[in-house]
Structure 1
Amino acid sequence: MKQLPEKFLSRMETMLGEEFPDFLKSYDFPRKFGLRVNTNKISVEKFLEISPFHLEPIPWIDNGFFYNENDRPSRHPYYFAGLYYLQEPSAMTPASQFSIKPGEYVLDLCAAPGGKATELGAKLQGKGFLAANDISNSRAKALLRNLELFGIKNSMVTNETPAKLAKYFPEFFDKILVDAPCSGEGMFRKDLDVAKTWDETRPAFFGKLQREIITQAISMLKPGGKLLYSTCTFSPIENEGLISFVLENFPEMELLSLSDYEGFSKGCPDWGNNDPRLAKCVRIFPHHMEGEGHFLALMKKDGYSVSNKTSPSVKPDKASKKLLDEFFKNMSEPLDFSRIDIRNENVYYLPEADTASLKGIKFLRNGLFLGELKKNRFEPSQPFAMSLQMKNFNNIINLSSSDTRVMRYLKGETLILNEDEASQKGWHLVCTDGFPLGWGKVVGTTLKNKYPAGWRLHY
């Protein structure tokens, strides 16, 4: 068994009683690896038809699968097409359990690196608004990259404290996910380094921080809206203790039941206030399920929500519109110019939400970055490519995932095309098995590679 902190083990033995030996044995089991299908780009059924991996369904995740580590899905072209996200199976549970409808306004308050935000965005299906925030700038950059890879086009990525966000978004969101920073006890089996940093003061430290975060989150939730709170720790003070704090201090918040699964554990046997409502909370233990430790609680705010405001109309100048029209004549659908925002020659497609009054907030991206206006031309961006389907653009280079040119493209190399592939000059959407990877420009029988340097493979 891995070396675990003695005071952690003592508390877990008190919590679990006769189940404690089974809990200890679970630390000798090999960890499971998970893959979650991006339903914003492909259905689960279609993905299973084309998948080259050895997959087994994760029973409690509709679009989640265990995969064989030897498959190395992070190096397959489908990963770079954004067809799936690699995520620990239990960590898939909060976003999977959260019912999101297209058109809703959704906030992932502690979102980096994007495992849950990408699933929330996929559920919106391009409608409504996703705000994804992280207080760490470096982690927020990773979050942005993953949302771009997933083709999420109706999002805003912010880098703010919850308190600052609350000033800008009072009672604004239909749904809020708070996957709170925590002591990480549920990840000890996955990453022993987390256990090495643990001491008995960490649960109380994070418990205080979580109360501050949840207070701000509740203020941003619409009446009638729902909030899902989750952690990856076993500590009662950070789990049932936090929910007790909410129920005692925010009478407008009601604890709801989550969908059941036979491996879910309800509430904590050692939480001492005997509130029967806490039985609606869900715990995931590694000796009950094939995943790491997790906690979930779903709450609803009393009242009735009002309809969302849409973004104000904006108009590009005539010269910019002309350059955009020239490029977008190759698109199967017209561009909605009422949502185009041009800043410093960068062109953005704004989300539906009214975000016009956000001056002073730190954000990495508001909407979808379409590309840049340069002298006499428009150059499309990588995030724009990832937001498209192959049918959206007229000029296509579609390569089989087994074609060696795919990996060469992902490394930034120039490609040689055959005559059929090079029948049209200019911008082309480069795809693999029908799924976009990025842009290239055809000159003669050569494809000039426009895959951005920061996205390229280096092995």
Structure 2
Amino acid sequence: MIQLPEAFREKMKRLLKEEYDSFIDSYEMERVQGLRRNPIKITQEEFERLSPFHLKKIPWVKEGYYYSGQERPGKHPYHEAGLYYIQEPSAMAVVELLDPRPGETILDLCAAPGGKTTHIAGRLKGEGFLVSNEIHPARAKILSQNVERLGVKNGVVTNEDSHSLSQYFPEFFDRIVVDAPCSGEGMFRKDEAARLQWSPDHVNLCAKRQGEILLNAAAMLKPGGVLVYSTCTFSPEENEQVIEEFLLSNDDFSIEDMGERQGLSEGRPEWSKTGRKDLKKTFRIWPHKTEGEGHYLAVLKKADRDSGKIKRTEPEYCKDALIIKEAEKFFQDILVDPASYLIRKEYILFGDQLYLISPEMIQFKGMKVLRPGLHIGTIKKNRLEPSHALALALKKEEIRQWVDLPAAGGEIIRYLKGETLSEDGLSGAQLEKKGWVLMNVDGYSIGFAKLAGGILKNHYPKGLRWM
């Protein structure tokens, strides 16, 4: 039996009244598991045909599926290929309400570990610009790894506090997600640490911090833009009351009416300080009402006005002719059609690391940036060694040389363990000469190898190798 804090029980009993028993009973139910298809890599038809898991659609998000708790999708080669992201089902509602469109500029302000960021990237379809920020350095690294795994090309990962970030991006973004750090009450069923850390004082501390983050986010939203605020907690202090206080001091914002949504309940005006009726347009997901953990969501719209053209200062692009020449030579050698990588000026050098960044990226000198764009590779003595991120961003049909291994076969496991493979006996391969080869699982890129003398030398990163 899950041990809930007594003060939390008393609070929820007071708030939920006749719903309280059903709510408490939900803690003894098995929690549901979810994963989300990655549209950057795979279509719905392909995914449902290939998936080895027993899946059921999640009603509030088109890319989302429930899977059985007995299955382990995190231990499958398709996971390493970035075909899906394992995510709690209710959290998927956030980006569904954000509704990002290809070509837009988007900010995910509190982005680790990357569920909402990778969801946004899938909706952008490689068009537009995505900044994913995380204040905690260790969590920002995990975020960056997930951006890489899912093959995101048009994303930047930063490690700033919200105020510092707002100084770089004033009124810059079309849409923003603020999945605010919270007391985590909605995660009590699966997270013992959240239960142990909870207290009424912690709730109030979170609410204060959430208000500050929301104000900084608002400063980065363009006039006419949309902001989605979300938490995975039940406390009105962190939900309706945060939104209410924000609206009272920001009259250029209003709550968007998103209509009824399957599985989502109305926010509760009676839990605010003034009872303002527009809080019914916000949303809650309850574990005793639907198959998901607790979540709160509010969609805010900034009033449209003419703010003038945003002044953008370009980053310092790489101008080293030798490095650019080596990059061009590399792409001409490995790609069927290298034009999309060659007719670009947006290469930058981070030490000896070469990146291709989005044309929308600003001058980021002084900003804490973990991943300024697509990591192309490492410059070594005037040659380019491609990165794992590049492999995951490429498709088999783009590459001159490739190997395609079945997910059910032993060779893919050997590759993921870092072993070398022989060219002999590979049934699915297009190999012509020594050099770089894109490794695939059932047609989807998973890493690089280098062919020499009939042997494929493994370049799967050591830190990711299976034991």
TM-score band (shorter)? over 0.9
Equivalent pair of 1:348/1:369 in contact (CA under 8 Å): yes
Kindly indicate whether residue 461 of structure 2 is the aligned counterpart of residue 456 of structure 1.
no
Aligned to 2:298, the other structure's residue is in SS state: strand
Aligned pair 1:392/2:398, yes or no? Answer: yes
Which residue of structure 2 lines up, in the alignment, with residue 246 of structure 1?
246
Of 326, 333, 342, the residue aligned with 2:338 is: 333
Query: What secondary structure is seen at the aligned counterpart in 2 of 1:130?
Result: strand
* Structure 1: distance between partners of 2:119 and 2:55: 19
Cα pair 1:313 1:338 within 8 Å, conserved: no
Output the CA distance in 2 between the equivalents of 1:98 and 1:399.
37
Alignment of 1:39-188 (within 5 A): 39-188=39-188
Could you tell me which residue of structure 2 aligns to residue 302 of structure 1?
Answer: 303
* CA-atom RMSD in angstroms: 1.7
1:345 partnered with 2:352? yes
Deviation of 1:101 after TM superposition, in Å, equals: 0.8
Q: Deviations over 1:17-60 (max 9, x none)?
A: 21111111111110001010001111122100111111111111
The alignment's TM-score, normalised by the length of structure 2, stands at: 0.94
* Alignment equivalent of 1:323, drawn from 293, 306, 326: 326
Please, which moves more after superposition, 310-319 or 220-229?
Answer: 310-319
- What is residue 25 of structure 1 aligned with on the other side? 25
Match of 1:290 in 2: 291
Q: What secondary structure sits across from 1:27 in the alignment?
A: helix
State the Cα distance separating 1:354 from its structure 2 match: 3.5
Query: Is the CA contact (8 Å cut-off) linking 2:282 and 2:298 kept in structure 1?
Result: yes
Deviates more, 1:78-87 or 1:442-451: 442-451
After superposition, what is the alpha-carbon deviation per residue over 1:295-324, rounded to whole angstroms, capped at 9, x for unaligned? Answer: 000001111476776957946433223212
Equivalent residue in structure 1 for 2:385, among 375, 379, 385: 379
The answer on whether the counterparts of 1:227 and 1:299 sit within 8 Å (CA) in structure 2 is yes
Deviations 1:227-281 (A, max 9, x none): 0000000000100001101110000001112352343221124334220110001
Structure 2: gaps (5+ residues): none
Paired residues, number: 457
- By how many angstroms is 1:122 displaced? 1.4
In structure 2, relative to structure 1, the CA distance for the partners of 1:103 and 1:244 (3 Å cut) is: same
* TM-superposed deviation, 1:333: 3.2
Tell me if the contact between 2:184 and 2:194 (Cα under 8 Å) persists in the aligned partners: yes
In the alignment, what sits opposite 1:424? 433
In the alignment, residue 267 of structure 1 is paired with which amino acid?
G
| 8 Å contact from structure 2 (residues 178, 227) kept in 1 | yes
Secondary structure at the aligned position of 1:177 is classed as strand
The reply on whether 1:408 has 2:409 as its aligned counterpart is no
The answer as to whether partners of 1:314 and 1:337 remain within 8 angstroms in 2 is no
Percent of counterpart pairs with the same letter?
Answer: 43
CA separation of 1:338/1:146 partners in 2, compared to 1, >3 Å: closer, same or farther? same
Amino acid at match of 1:117: T
The answer to whether the 8 A contact 1:316-1:337 is kept is no
- Residue number in structure 2 paired with 1:442: 451
Between the aligned partners of 1:233 and 1:333, the Cα distance in structure 2 is 48
State the shift of 1:345 in Å.
Answer: 2.9
Is the partner of 1:430 in helix, strand or coil? Answer: strand
Where does residue 370 of structure 1 map in the other structure? 376
